C-alpha cells in the first residue's frame, strides 16, 4: 500500500507560495503543488484565474459568516472535496461543465447523506 504513495513524484508535495490580492490586501498563500493543480482545474472550469476564484471563495465565505482564520486549510479541503465529489459522481469529470452550473443544493444534500455516519462518529 505505502509504495503507491511513497514512490509518487515528490513534486506533488513540494510547496510553492503565490502572492494574491484578496479584498485589496496582498497576501501569500503556500500550498503543495498537487493542491494548486486541483484549484487551477476548479478555476478553469468556470473561466476564472486562481486569484479570481480565491477572491470569490474568500468573499462568499465571509458573507456566509465563516471563520477563515486558516484559509489555506480551507483551500486544501476545497480541493479534496472537489475530487471526492467527482468520485462520488456529484460533480461531472468533464472539464467543460462549469461548477457554477451545477445544482449546489442537491450536491450538498447528497454529500450530507453520504457523510452522515462519519459526522455522527466525530461528535
For residues 93 and 43, what is the distance between their CA atoms, to the nearest angstrom?
14
CATH number at 54 reads 1.10.3990.20
Confidence class for position 118, pLDDT limits 50, 70, 90: low
Burial grade of 39 (CB within 10 A; 0-12, 13-18, 19 or more): buried
Confidence class for position 123, pLDDT limits 50, 70, 90: low
Which domain range does residue 97 map to?
Answer: 9-121
Q: Flag whether 93 is in a domain.
A: yes
Q: Give me the pLDDT at residue 119, please.
A: 61
- Per the structure, the count of domains in the chain is 1
pLDDT per residue as tens digits for the range 1-58: 799 888 988 888 899 999 999 989 999 999 999 999 999 999 999 999 999 999 999 9
Q: Flag whether 1 is in a domain.
A: no
Q: Flag whether 87 is in a domain.
A: yes
Q: Give me the pLDDT at residue 121, please.
A: 62
Amino acid at each position: 500500500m505505502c509504495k503507491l504513495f511513497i514512490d509518487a513524484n515528490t513534486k506533488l508535495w513540494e510547496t510553492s507560495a503565490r502572492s494574491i490580492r484578496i479584498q485589496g490586501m496582498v497576501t501569500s498563500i503556500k500550498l503543495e503543488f498537487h493542491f494548486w493543480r486541483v484549484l487551477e482545474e476548479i478555476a478553469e472550469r468556470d473561466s476564472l484565474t486562481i486569484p479570481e476564484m480565491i477572491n470569490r471563495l474568500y468573499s462568499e465565505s465571509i458573507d456566509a459568516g465563516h471563520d477563515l482564520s486558516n484559509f489555506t486549510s480551507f483551500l486544501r479541503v476545497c480541493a479534496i472535496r472537489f475530487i471526492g465529489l467527482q468520485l462520488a459522481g456529484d460533480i461531472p469529470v468533464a472539464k467543460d461543465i462549469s461548477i457554477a452550473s451545477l445544482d449546489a443544493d442537491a450536491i450538498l444534500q447528497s454529500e450530507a447523506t453520504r457523510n452522515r455516519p462519519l459526522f455522527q462518529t466525530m461528535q
